[in-house]
Amino acid sequence: MKRAVLAALLAFAPALAQDQAPTPSAKPSAQIRAVRHRLGLAATRAIANFRSMDSIEENLEQMGLMLDAELVSLRSRIEAALDVTDEAIDHNDPKAANEALDRAEALVGRLEKRLGGG
């Protein structure tokens, strides 16, 4: 399932990072466009860190070790917060989207520090 989420993020992150052309019937507000842009940037950061985690995990498995459970938990929490952000955007709720995205960005920052990149 993690690979499916990662594949989806990889597929949609570039599109999310750019302002998308609105449909004629429902033009997204400036707030929704801004949070969508932030989501794309956060998803890109998350993906980079997830790739690092995958590489670390593969190396640890070769040595008969496992990835720290807290890192696995952080990844799940990031994925969930990004999903909540996306749902809030779909429901045209910029306040909820920004709150969820704030959580996701904070979690990505924690993950980056744990991986030595922040």
> Using one digit for the tens of pLDDT, what is the confidence trace for 3-45?
545 555 555 555 555 545 444 456 889 999 999 999 999 999 9
DSSP for 63-76, please give it: TT----HHHHHHHH
Report the distance separating Cα 20 and Cα 58, nearest Å.
Answer: 36
Q: Looking at residue 25, what is its pLDDT?
A: 52
Closest CA to 50 of 115, 1, 116, 118: 115
pTM, to two decimals: 0.76
As a whole number of Å, the end-to-end CA separation of the chain is 27
pLDDT beyond 50 at 1: no
Report the distance separating Cα 53 and Cα 44, nearest Å.
Answer: 14
Give domain limits for the chain.
30-115
> Using one digit for the tens of pLDDT, what is the confidence trace for 33-90?
999 999 999 999 999 999 999 999 999 999 999 999 999 999 999 999 999 999 999 9
Report the distance separating Cα 111 and Cα 117, nearest Å.
Answer: 9
Three-state DSSP at 43 gives helix
Q: Looking at residue 24, what is its pLDDT?
A: 45
Report the distance separating Cα 52 and Cα 17, nearest Å.
Answer: 21
